[in-house]
Amino acid sequence: MKKALVTGGAGFIGSHLVDRLTSKGWYVKVIDNFSSGRLENVEHHRSNLRVEVLKGDLKDSRVAEESVKGVDVVFHYAANPEVRVSTTNPEIHFNENIVVTFNLLEAMRKNDVREIVFASSSSVYGEPEVIPVSEDAPMRPISVYGASKAACENLIHAYSKLYGIKALVLRYANVVGPRLRHGVVYDFIIKLRRNAKELEILGDGTQVRSYIYVYDAIEATMVAYDNPRELFDVYNIASEDWITVNEVAKAVIYAMGLRSVRYVYKPVLHGVGWPGDVKRIALDVRKLKELGWRPRMRSREAVAKAVSDILHELKSYEE
């Protein structure tokens, strides 16, 4: 059975991936600095001898080097995923995303680890002229976060070609579900729990996105992994539809059982929420569907289910 390193394995998507890999009998090593990851996301593996959880910061090349030792494949999910942060603190994304990815690739090269799966993002496309956008469209990021993901993809491409490392790049849309603790859906829940009468919406509410439930995203990840085609390959991972931020607000309010909520819009520039926020993005998933994958949920359903998952988690802490 294979041994995987999951970087950021105590985070939202990473911890679901750990669940999935262990359920298939894999040995899994998690490395996380717990900056946004939480021990409770992986605590249920405490007595599983096939799971090892290490605390360490991958900005330190020695940590990267130690982590990759003895593994067959690196699932690289560690990053700072907050797009908004890059507007005010661009160096965070440079360090947490680009430097960390470089450290890992170097560690892999030196230790002869020959496979990497990378959690990239739809933000590499920037504002595509047509949506849904397919994998062969140019990367034209408009945020430093998107640029950092594009830089990581390019580094991975070079290492793949130079050193024969098998690389799978997965460009996720907005992933939602249990354990999510950032992004618009979580933000709306927290605001509405504080004030059930009013909801501040960053932007004019017409921004378009697609939302994928985390189980669909993990299934897509495994389908892409289990069906290798090229030494370096790229897939979009998203649901098949897209909705506006106003529709997300409506779904969250409905799922929380609220009524008569007043929207307060905070638009900047051309109606987006912050500089670097993309107005319209949706991903073409035909390439992934050719492998037989189908998402089970559409965007609205995914958001509604995620709201009920997260509310359930938040309530259980309070009990």
Active site amino acids: 145
Q: Which is nearer to ligand NAD, 180 or 261 (CB)?
A: 180
Residue from 4, 21, 29, 33 that binds ligand NAD (CB under 6 A)?
33
Q: Which is nearer to ligand NAD, 36 or 111 (CB)?
A: 36
Q: Specify the amino acid at residue 207.
A: Q
Q: How far apart are CA 37 and CA 10, in angstroms?
A: 5
Q: Which is nearer to ligand NAD, 139 or 196 (CB)?
A: 139
Burial 115-153 (b: 16+ CB within 10 A, else e): bbbbbbbbbbbbbbeebbbebebebebbbbbbbbbbbbb
Task: Name the one range near ligand NAD by CB under 6 A: 4-12, 19-27, 85-93, 310-318.
Answer: 4-12
Phi, psi (rounded to 5 degrees) for 45: -100, 5
In total, the chain counts a number of residues equal to 319
| Beta partners for residue 212, in sequence order | 175
Secondary structure (DSSP) of 159-196: HHHHH--EEEEEEE-EEESTT--SSHHHHHHHHHHH-T
Phi, psi (rounded to 5 degrees) for 131: -125, 150
| Beta partners for residue 121, in sequence order | 172
Is 58 a binding residue for ligand NAD by CB under 6 A? The answer is yes
Minimum gap (Å) between residue 197 Cβ and ligand NAD: 28
Is 78 a binding residue for ligand NAD by CB under 6 A? The answer is yes
Is 67 a binding residue for ligand NAD by CB under 6 A? The answer is no
For the record, the structure tokens of 258 come out as 């609220």
Residue from 34, 94, 225, 274 that binds ligand NAD (CB under 6 A)?
34
Residue from 3, 20, 50, 59 that binds ligand NAD (CB under 6 A)?
59
Give me the 99-138 binding string for ligand NAD, x by CB under 6 A, dash otherwise.
Answer: -x------------------x-x-----------------
Interface positions, 148-187, toward ligand NAD (CB under 6 A): 172, 174-175, 183
Residue from 4, 28, 74, 79 that binds ligand NAD (CB under 6 A)?
79
Task: Assign 155 to helix, strand or coil.
Answer: helix
Please give the residue ranges that form the binding site for ligand NAD (CB under 6 A): 8, 10-14, 31-37, 57-59, 77-81, 96, 100, 119, 121, 172, 174-175, 183
